[in-house]
Structure 1
C-alpha cells in the first residue's frame, strides 16, 4: 500500500511538472495502444488537419513524449488558442479551442493611402480576411501600418485597433487612424566642409527645406532612402574632385517634440586633395596590354577622380568579357604619398577562366512572351560569354519600351568552372492607351471619339492602333499595325489604313469637304544594330467635294488635277537614335531621313525631309537641346508640286509665337496653304523649374526659334523671309503624356503674320 502511495506521489509530481511546461498537457499515463482518436471543439478546421499533425495513429502506442509532441505540433499550426489531450481507457480525446477568424478588416481616417495598399501591407504581416486572429499579429500589423506612414513622413500618426467579436467565433478588425500633419525638413546643415560652401553642397541634394512647389516635388519630406542617395551624391562629388579620403563621419536626424519638423546634420571630413602621379598595369592582360592601356581614363597630373577609376576598372572587366572571361577581377590599388598629396594606381588584373553561357532565363515578364525578349538577344546559349553582346542585348530589350527596368545578372553554374547562366530581369509597364471622349458644338452637334493603342498587344511585341472620330468637321477612321519581327531576321512591317473627311466650317464658313482615303505598307530593314532603313509604298485618293466658299487654292488644285486625284508614292527612309532617353533626353543624337516619290497616279512629285536633334549635357541640372529640320518637295513630269503635300510652319514644333501652321504663302482667300520648302531651327536651354529641385519631370526652358516655309522659286541662301521668336516654356511629364507650354515673343515678323504668344501641346519635345 505504501509502495502504491509513493508511486502515486511520484506520478502526481510528474504531472504537476508537465503542467508547468505545458499547461494543457494531459496527466502522465502509462503507454498504451490507441484504439480510437476523437476530436472535440472543431468549428471550421477540418479533422484531417488534426490527424495529419499527430505523431501517432490508431493502433500505435501512445506515450507522454508523443503527447507532448502532439501538443507542440497542434499549437504550431497557429489555429488554436488552447489544446488538451485526455485519455478515456484506450481512447485518446483531442480537445481544441479554435482561434477566432478574421471576418473583415477596415480602416477609418485613412487619406494618405488607398485602403487596398494598406490591406496588402497587413496581408504581408499575416492579417487578412479568413485568417486566424492572433493578438500578437494584430500588434505587428499596427506597427506595420505605422511604418507605412512614417515612410511618408507622417511621424505623428496614431493608430487604435478595435477587435469586435461576431457570431461563429469571428472578429472584425478596425484600424482607426489619425494621420496628423506631414513632418517637414526645416533644417539641413553640413559641418566640416572647407573646400566647398554649404549652399553648393546642399544644391546637390534632392532633399531640401522646401519651396513653393514642395507640394508637388515633396522634396521637404524626409526619407532615409533619399538621404542615403544624397549622401552618396555628396561623396561622389568630393571623390571626383581629388578628395581621396573624404568621409561622412556622422548623420544626425532630429525630430521636434511635436513631430512636425526635422533637422538633418551631416558631419564630414574632407581630407587633403590628391593628384594622380601615375598608373601602371600588373597581372595577366592576355598579351593585350596596349589595348587595355587605351581604355585607361585615369589621367596623371590631374586631381584624383573616383569616377575615372571606376570607369577604367569597369572598362577592363568588360573588355575581358569580350574574350569570354566572365569572372575577370580588376582592382585599382592606390599607393598614397601623403607627404606630397599624390597617389599612384596599380591596376591588378586576373582574368580567371573563360566561360560558356549555358542558359539564358527571362524573369518578370508576366504578360510579354519570352520570345519577344529573347529575339533581341545577341548573346546565344552554348556560346562563349561575350560582354559586348550581353550589353547590346540588354540595350535592345530596354529600347523595346515595354519595361521600366531591364537588368542582366550572371550566375556561376554549380559544379562547373566554365559555365554561367544569364538571367534577364524585367519590370513591365502598361503599354496600352485607351481614349474615350464626347463633345458637342453647334457645328458638329454630338461627336464621339474613341482610340485604342497597344504597343505590346497580347504580349506579342506587335503594335495595334485604332482611332475613330465621328465629328462632322473632322471625321476619321485609322487602323495601324506594326510587326517588328515580320521575318526572323528582324525586318519590321507597318500597315496603315485610313479614311478621313474634313469639313472646315468654322474656319472658312463654307460647306465643302475634303476626303482622303488610303493605305500604305512599309518595311524596316536593320542594316546595323543602330541603323534602320525603311521602304514601302501606298495608295492615296483625295476628293474635293465642292461647296460654298471653296478656297481659291483648292479650286486651282482641282483645275490642275481634278476634283478627285490619286497617287501611288514610294517611301524610303533611315533613322538612328543614340539619345539616353526618348522621353527626357539629356545627351545623344537623333537623326531621321525620309522621302516620298509619287511614281504613279494623277500627281507626280518627290518630297524629302531631314531632321537632326542634339542634346548636350552642361551639368546635372542644365541641358542644351538643338534641333534642325529641312524639307523639300518638287513636282515631276512638268507638273506643279501638289498643294496637299505642302509643309507648314508656325506654332509649337516649329516657330513658336506664331499661330499654328500660319506662316508661309496664302491664297487670295487668306488661307495658309503651306509651301514645298521648309526650314526650322530650334535651340533650348533646359533648366530646373524654380522650387522643383532636381525633379526631371517638371522643367523650364528658354528657347530661340527660326524658320518658315517657302515657295519653290525661293532660294534658301540667306535669312530673308525667316521668322524668329524667343521665349520661355514649361515641360511636364504628366500622366497623359509630355505637356509643353510656351510663351513666345516674335523677333522677326512681317505685316499680316498671325501672332499667338501663348501655346501648349501634349507630345514630344520638338
Structure 2
C-alpha cells in the first residue's frame, strides 16, 4: 500500500512532512511523471540510493535537491513497501520564441541577449526569468533612444508540456535630443562650448551619425571634452558639478542640462625640472611646449611630458616616468610646476617577433624595421618601423608593441603584428562610348608578388583613344642596402581624334631600366635610361603646327631619355594619410644620340595637416616646365595637359591650355608649362576610417604655351565633393566637380570616377 510522505509545491518548499515514518532500507527507487527528463538525470540529483536507510530528514533533503535543479514545479515522495516512489511534475520547456514588430535589431542579436537571461528555445520555462528577459529587451531599445517602446509577452501552452513565447513589440519613434543646456558658463558662450560636444540636436548628418540620440557613454565623453577645453584655456579648477537628463511625457524629446563651475583662470609662474635627466637640461627645456607667463594648458603640459618621455625613449629608456606636480597660488591665480623625471634603466631589445604575415615573407617585413635585435631600444626607430610598414600598402593594420621581458628590468621584446590585405589590382572592362565604340581593357598589378615585396604590372587597353600594352617590374631591394631596380617594356598607341586635343596619332615602342637609391629615412633618388621609338601620323585636319614638326623631324623618331628623380615621402599612411608631406621632383632629358633632344621638369609638393581627429586638410601643388635644346624643338606629344580627375576636376580631361582654331574646329594642343593646385578637406565616416573617406575640394590649374605669358589670372578653378572607398569589389574614387570660372571654349565634365577590383 502506498503512503504519501511529502507533497511540496514551490510555495511550500520547506513544509513539514504530512506524516512521520520509521526509518527503513530502500530496496528500489521508482520515478513517475517525467516526460522529457531522463530517469538517470533524476537519480543523479537524488541524494538517496538503493540500500540507503531513509528517514524524514533524508526525504526532505531529496525534495530540496530536486527542486534546486529547476526542472520541476512539483515534487511528491511516496513509499510502496520498501520502494521509494518519486512523483514529479515537470516545468514546461520553451519550444519556440517569436517576435512581431521587431525592426530596430537583427533577430539573432535579440535572441542572443535573451539567451543570456535564461530564455531560449529548448530551455526550461521560468516566468521569473521571462520578466527579466522583458527588461533586458527593453534595455536594448533604450540604448537606441527608443524610450516609448512597448513590449507585450504572450505564453501559449503546447502539447507535450511545452510553451511558445511570443514578444509583440511596438518600437515607437526614436527620442531625439531637443536641447542641451550648460548652466554656470561665463567665460565662453554656450554655442562655443557645445561645439566641443559629440551629442547634438538634430541636423542634416545626424540621421547617419546618430549623435542626436542620447547615450550615457557619449555624454560622459562630452563632459571630459568640455573639461579639457576649459583646462586648455587656463581654468585649472573647472568642474562639472551635476548633469540632469530628462525626457518629455510623450518620450520623444530628451533634455540635457549640465551645471559647471568654471573657477579662476591661471597662468604658469615657473617650471622646474627635478630628477635624473640623463640628457642635457637645456635639451629638455627645448621640449617644453609651455613656458612661464603662458596661460595654463593641460594639453601643452601633457605634450611636454610626452615629448620628454619620447626623447628619453630614443636613448633606450623605454620605461621613463615623467610627471608634472602643480603648486597652486589661488590668491595670485598662478600655478608653478615641478617636472619630475625618472628615466629608469636603459633597455635593449631582446627579440623582434613578427606575426600575421601569412603571405608576405618574413624578410620583407624585417627589412623595413629600423630597430635591431640586441640594440638599445629607440622609440623613434620603433615608430619609424611602424610607419615604413604601413607605407608599404601590404597591410590593413600594423600594430607594434614593446612588452617587458618577464623576470628582467632592462629588456623588451618588439612584437610586430600585421594584417594582410589584397595587394593586387585587377581591372577588366568591356564598355561602349560614342567615340570609342567597343572598349576592351584590362590590367593586372601585384605590389607584393608572391610575398616578395616586388611589384609586377601588366596592362592591356584596347580603347580607340589609348591602346596600351605594358609590362613593368620593380624590386625595391635589389641590394641589401635598399637600392631598387626596375624595368618597363611598352607599346602605346594614342589617337587624339576622340579627345579635346587636336587630331594626330602616335605609336610608341620602348623600354627603360631604372634604379633607386635611398639617401635618408624618407628620401630617395632615382635614375633611369630608356629607349623610345615614336611614329607620328597626321591628317588633313591636323594643325599646321603638327605637320611642320613631322616635316622637320620625320614621322618616326628615336629618343634616348635619361631620368633623374628625387622623392621625399613623410606621409603617415599609404592610402589615407592624415599628416606628413610628400615631395617629388623629376627631370627627363632626351640626350644627343637620338633624333630628339628635349627636357621635361616637374615638381610636386603635397602636405597633410590634421585639423581634428576627423578632418584633415590636404594641400597639393604641381608645376612643370619643358622645352627643346640643341636646335631642336619640344615634341608636341611631350606637351603638358590639364583637366580631368587627376588635375582639375570638373573640366574634361586635357581640355585646358592653348587653343587653336582650324577648319572651323577648336583644338587643345597642350603647352610647355603647367600649374596645378588643390586644397581639400578630407574626413572619414565613423567606423570606416580605413576604408572610406570623403572630401570637399577646390582645384585650380592651367597650361601655357611657349609664346604665352605666365598669367595666373588665366587659371581655371573648380570645386566639388570627392569620395574614395576601398570597397569589397575594389578601390573606387568618385568626384563631382563644378567649374567656378568656366570660359566659353572650356569643356566641363561634372562626374568623374576611377574603379578597379582587388584580389
Q: TM-score range by the shorter chain?
A: 0.7 to 0.9
Unaligned runs of 5+ in 1: 1-8, 22-26, 33-40, 55-60
Report the Cα offset of residue 613 of structure 1.
Answer: 3.1
Q: Give the distance between the partners of 2:314 and 2:22, measured in 1 at CA.
A: 73
Aligned-residue offset at 1:632 = 2.1
Tell me if 1:531 matches 2:499. Answer: no
Alignment of 1:518-667 (within 5 A): 518-520=510-512, 522-544=514-536, 549=541, 552=544, 555-560=547-552, 562-579=554-571, 588-599=580-591, 602-615=595-608, 626-635=619-628, 637-650=630-643, 654=647, 659-666=652-659
Decide whether the 8 Å contact of 1:651 with 1:759 is kept in 2: no
Is 2:280 the partner of 1:285?
no
Q: Secondary structure at the match of 1:233?
A: helix
- DSSP-derived class of the 2:667 partner: coil
Tell me the SS of whatever aligns to 1:411: coil
- Residue 289 of structure 1 deviates from its aligned partner by 2.5
Instruction: State the 1:463 CA deviation.
Output: 5.2
User: What is the TM-score with the length of structure 2 in the denominator?
Assistant: 0.75
Cα distance change, pair 531–728 in 1 and its aligned pair in 2 (3 A): same
- Render the CA deviation track for 1:660-684: whole Å, top value 9, x for unaligned: 4233335546432212x32315364
Q: Are the aligned partners of 1:655 and 1:723 in contact in 2 as well (CA < 8 Å)? A: no
Q: Distance in 1 between matches of 2:554 and 2:53?
A: 104
* Aligned position for 1:308: 300
Structure 2 gaps, min length 5: 15-20, 27-33, 46-51, 77-81
Q: 1:168 to 1:543 in 2, by over 3 A?
A: farther
Q: 1:754 corresponds to which residue?
A: 745
Tell me whether 394-403 or 174-183 shows the greater mean CA deviation: 174-183
Q: Does the CA contact (< 8 Å) of 2:640 and 2:674 recur in 1?
A: no
Distance 1:482 1:349, change over 3 A: same
Q: 1:678 aligns with which of 651, 655, 673?
A: 673
**CA offsets per residue over residues 39-62 of structure 1, 9 Å max, x none?**
xx99999x9xx9xx99xxxxxx99
Instruction: State whether residues 331 and 348 of structure 1, in contact with CA within 8 Å, keep that contact through their aligned partners in structure 2.
Output: yes
- Structure 2 residue 411 is the aligned partner of structure 1 residue 419: yes
- Tell me, what secondary structure is at the counterpart of 1:393? helix
Taking the aligned partners of 1:686 and 1:406, their CA distance within structure 2 comes to 26
Q: Does 1:331 align with 2:323?
A: yes
Would you say the 8 A contact 2:621–2:677 is kept in 1? yes
Alpha-carbon separation, structure 2, partners of 1:384 and 1:754: 65
Indicate the residue corresponding to 1:294 in structure 2. 286
The structure 1 residue matched to 2:739, chosen from 737, 740, 744, is 744
Q: Which moves more between the two structures, 315-324 or 441-450?
A: 441-450
Are the counterparts in 2 of residues 509 and 549 from structure 1 also a CA contact under 8 Å? no
How has the CA–CA distance of structure 1 residues 442 and 356 changed in structure 2, closer, same or farther, with 3 Å as cutoff? closer
CA distance in 2: counterparts of 1:102 and 1:434, whole angstroms: 51
- Cα distance in 2 for partners of 1:295, 1:213 equals 40
Q: State the distance in 2 between where 1:267 and 1:128 align.
A: 45
Following the alignment from structure 1 to structure 2, what is the Cα–Cα distance between the partners of residues 199 and 598?
A: 62
2:559–2:596 CA contact under 8 A, matched in 1: yes
Residue of 331, 344, 350 corresponding to 2:342 = 350
Larger deviation: 161-170 or 719-728?
Answer: 161-170
Answering whether residue 715 of structure 2 is matched by residue 729 of structure 1, we say no
How far does residue 337 in structure 1 lie from its aligned partner after superposition? 0.6
User: Who is 1:24 aligned against?
Assistant: none
Q: What is the SS of the residue equivalent to 2:604?
A: strand
Which shows bigger deviation, 651-660 or 736-745? 651-660
Q: 1:623 to 1:316 in 2, by over 3 A?
A: closer
C-alpha separation between the residues in 2 aligned to 1:370 and 1:98? 60
Q: Once the 2 structures are TM-superposed, how far is the Cα of residue 272 of structure 1 from its aligned partner?
A: 0.7
Is residue 385 of structure 1 aligned with residue 385 of structure 2?
no
Equivalents in 2 of 1:106, 1:539: separation in Å?
74
Aligned pair in 2 of structure 1 residues 518, 223: CA closer, same or farther (>3 Å)? farther
Task: Give the 5 Å matches for 1:158-177.
Answer: none
State whether structure 2 residue 218 is matched by structure 1 residue 222.
no
Query: What SS does the aligned partner of 1:420 have?
Result: strand
CA drift of 1:249 comes to 2.2
Is 1:256 matched with 2:252?
no
What is the distance in 2 between the residues matched to 1:44 and 1:543?
Answer: 90
- 1:188 is aligned to 2:188: no
1:244 CA drift (Å): 0.9
The question of whether the paired residues in 2 share the 8 Å contact of 1:704 and 1:724 is answered with: no
Distance 1:204 1:427, change over 3 A: farther
- Find the counterpart in structure 1 of residue 48 from structure 2: none
CA gap of 1:382–1:509, structure 2 versus 1, over 3 A, is closer
Out of 234, 237, 248, the position equivalent to 2:226 is 234
- Equivalent residues of 1:657, 1:745 under 8 A apart: no
For 1:354-433, list aligned pairs within 5 A: 354-362=346-354, 372-402=364-394, 406-424=398-416
- CA offset digits 1:537-574 (Å, max 9, x no partner): 44545445677755655544544555454545333322
After superposing the two structures, state which structure 1 stretch, 147-156 or 166-175, moved more.
166-175
In 1, Cα distance between equivalents of 2:95 and 2:479: 56
Structure 1 451/375 Cα, relative in aligned 2: closer, same or farther at 3 Å? same
Whole-Å Cα distance in 1 between the matches of residues 75 and 382 of structure 2?
59
1:380 deviation in Å? 2.7
Q: How many Å separate the matches in 1 of 2:326 and 2:679?
A: 43
SS at match of 1:199: helix
SS at match of 1:671: strand
Work out whether residues 588 and 616 of structure 1, in 8 Å CA contact, stay in contact via their aligned partners in 2: yes
Residues 700 and 632 of structure 1, relative CA distance in 2, 3 Å threshold: closer
CA offsets 1:64-87 (integer angstroms, 9 cap, x no match): 99xx99x999x99x9999999xxx
